[in-house]
Structure 1
Amino acid sequence: MNKYLLGENEFDKFYDLYLYSFNRQDSSQRKRVFKERYDHSLSYGIMNGSKLGSGLFSIPFEVNFHGVDYKMNGIGDVMSAPEFGGQGGAGKLMNEALFDMYKNHVTLSYLAPFSFGYYRRFGFEQVFDHTQVEIKSESLPRIKNAEHGYVERISIKDIPDELKKMYLDHNDLGGVNRSKWWWDHMLDKHSDYQAALAYDDDDVLIGYLIYYNQDQTFYIHEWINLNPLSRQLLAKFVIKHQSIFSKFVYESPNPDFKSDILDDPYTTNLTVTPYMMARIVNLEDFLQRYPIQVNSLEKIYFRVKDTLEWNDHTWALEINDGKVKLSDADGEGADLELTIQTLTKAMFGYRNLNSLADYGTVKGDLSKINSLSKVFVSERPQLIDYF
């Protein structure tokens, strides 16, 4: 067992370090919610005398990547006490967590960075962006009343199972397959959120949005539609709050938000912001089960540079009749070279290899780079959850 893994008895020390490190105020709800995360995570820590010097969560999840389910551990609450800072404690815990992920057959890892540069040292790379859509009340578009269907408003704690299923059915771009405990945790953490459910005339759920408000701003946290009727119903529901709030904000997980669908894009402030990072923990498993986009590929040798020794190889990849054949080919001459971070961008569909080669982050035979680029998905990933 890893000597840095913490047990039930260390919860109070971990929680106290969290409060101090992130300048949070203690409350019964905050402690309860934090305990939920602690109980479902691998919690790592290094003691500094009688106190905890550094700590982090490694939270087991599963994600859906273009129809393929992969184990993914989310890294969260990376922290060090100021008197213990600068001694490499958090970095040591990060490496231990990654090693344990590999042992436990975890393929991917995500995290929300406080510094992109810091986490790139551990092989993580930016792959998720959000689009924040902000519009003032007086600039909201006019939406006709729908001739069919209706909207039901409920507390977040009352969301039905059919909503959870709708989320899962439309989560296939790298997002989290929310398990029961994670749903419960989210609902407990955001107990002040509300939901609006759109139904058709046959009482079938066709869309939903989850929202909350702060002061004079209406925030849309999550919005899924099955059809134009759902979009019309829920958009009209939002606009009916026009007299209550002065500003409306929607943070969409889609980085390619379609501003052209708005009546007047100039009235809307659209901002694309970096969101979270990802890391390929087990490249062999990721590629062997990857949703490849070509049916055949002549053998390509590519050199991957990584701090994780099991990924740090020259690999031989070929595809025959849609079947992937991947093998360690150390000693062979590589057709192209790249880092695990660059490969992560390409495999997640964030930026293709041809573009990356233009920026000099992929080196090698351009025809081989082009061939390998066609193997990977081109649709950019989307992630709503935060940890």
Structure 2
Amino acid sequence: MPIRQLTSEEFELYMELAQYAFQFHLTPEQREGQREKFKPETVWGVFNDGELEAQLRIIPFELYLYGRKLQMGGIAAVSTWPEQRRKGHVNELLLHALETMRKAGQTISCLAPFAFPFYRKYGWELYVEYKKYTIDTALLPPRVATSGRVERTEGDIAELNAVYERYAACYNGTLARTEAWWQDSVYRRKKKLAAVYKDESGQAAGYILYEIAERAFKINEMVYQDETARQALWTFIANHDSMVERVTLDAPMDDNLPYLLPNPRIGQEIVPYFMGRIVDAPAFVAQLGLRAPAEATSGEPLSLRIRDEHAPWNDGHWQLGADEEGNLSLKPATATQGGEPELSCGIGTLTALFMGYQRPERLQRDGRLLGSADAAARLEKMIPRCQTNLLDFF
């Protein structure tokens, strides 16, 4: 079946399939708003005799990894009419998307899976999860007198984004947000109410986006720069105790709230979230700009076999070592560097490793990274530790 980009005149085809597949309905006003924002160049469709049978979006993003911004292709709106399913349309679209993203320089891709096993078949792998807290008001952090102040606000995007960017750059897998993304996604999904913590100099150092309904305080997003900002925001939240009975919050996996509470017996759930996939392995490693540690790369490069049946440019025998500038690089193994590789894994496992979600020594013990413990220990030294996190959805 031919695959092509949609045109602006095909907005209705795109929206009809999206609404049916994801079970939502837009009012006429909302539909016109979506029409104005429709970017047909991001949508690819499978057509048969002029009829749209399946579709997929590739949204261009920038993603933080080890403090750097990388071009990322966000896969979304993957949908097929039910009578056209099981004909291989999504398979064709995903393979086409990998080639398209590679040409666009999007060396990493992320998506929200409807089913993890389905996308694992194509090389995407879980890279981030979060803690979901449910806290009775009697168990909230104690109120603390802090310097600065918390202000309820309409939420100035430039002010909030300055706080967010400093926070996001400390994690792997967070989005670099544009003003349009704040307006169209963050505010639309999360901003019912907003409060900002400002330090003694008047500089914003933390914020929450939240809503209050049915005696529940739902924190849709909480970002802070330091402990003072954290305490000030929690004190602001605790001052709603006469209005609410519980507080909910999604927090990154390195959040330490339970330990800091006088009584840590709050509701906690770990929720698997987004998946990632390395699109172009050598270009991805080069863009990370990681310094190659001398203790791991002073000798021969690490020999690595990557399995990737859906992106043949990644599949093969590689050498992971230092380039001329001392940065980590991934280069094809030469004929003289043949023999059995020291380590072997699929592209999904490699993605989990380089995004910081999993560690080499652990995956070697789990049988996901095949090879010796010594080789895994070498790889361990090459990949810095950095917590994954993602506050957005697409």
TM over 0.5: yes
Query: How many angstroms does 1:187 deviate by?
Result: 4.8
After TM superposition, the structure 1 = structure 2 runs for residues 1-387 of structure 1, keeping only pairs within 5 Å, are: 3-28=3-28, 30-31=30-31, 34-35=34-35, 38-39=38-39, 42-48=42-48, 51-146=51-146, 148-155=147-154, 158-172=155-169, 173=171, 174-187=173-186, 189-190=188-189, 193-266=192-265, 268-292=266-290, 294-296=292-294, 297=297, 298=299, 299-306=301-308, 307-319=310-322, 322-329=326-333, 332-333=338-339, 334-387=341-394
Say how many residue pairs are matched: 382
Q: Residue 236 of structure 1: SS of its match in structure 2?
A: helix
**CA–CA separation in structure 2 for the residues paired with 1:275 and 1:24:** 21
CA contact (8 A) 1:128 1:277 kept: yes
Q: Residue 44 of structure 1: SS of its match in structure 2?
A: strand
Letter in 2 for 1:113: P
Query: How many angstroms does 1:50 deviate by?
Result: 5.6
**CA–CA separation in structure 2 for the residues paired with 1:187 and 1:350:** 24
Q: Residue 174 of structure 2: SS of its match in structure 1?
A: strand
CA contact (8 A) 2:140 2:238 kept: yes
The more displaced of 137-146 and 103-112 is 137-146
* 1:222-271 CA distance string (max 9 Å, x none): 212222321222111111222222221000133554421111011x1111
Unaligned runs of 5+ in 1: none
CA contact (8 A) 2:127 2:275 kept: yes
**CA–CA separation in structure 2 for the residues paired with 1:199 and 1:15:** 42
CA contact (8 A) 1:36 1:185 kept: no
Letter in 1 for 2:60: P
* 1:114-160 CA distance string (max 9 Å, x none): 100000111100010111111123332331343x31111123xx424
CA contact (8 A) 2:144 2:232 kept: no
- Cα RMSD, aligned residues only: 2.2
CA contact (8 A) 2:53 2:80 kept: yes
**CA–CA separation in structure 2 for the residues paired with 1:294 and 1:258:** 35
CA contact (8 A) 2:289 2:327 kept: no
CA contact (8 A) 1:38 1:57 kept: no
**CA–CA separation in structure 2 for the residues paired with 1:269 and 1:343:** 33
Letter in 1 for 2:107: T
CA contact (8 A) 1:356 1:362 kept: yes
CA contact (8 A) 2:304 2:318 kept: yes
The more displaced of 228-237 and 299-308 is 228-237
Letter in 1 for 2:314: N
Query: Normalization by structure 1: what TM-score?
Result: 0.92
The more displaced of 70-79 and 373-382 is 373-382
Query: How many angstroms does 1:33 deviate by?
Result: 5.8
**CA–CA separation in structure 1 for the residues paired with 2:330 and 2:202:** 49
Unaligned runs of 5+ in 2: none
**Percent of pairs identical after alignment?**
27
The more displaced of 214-223 and 319-328 is 319-328
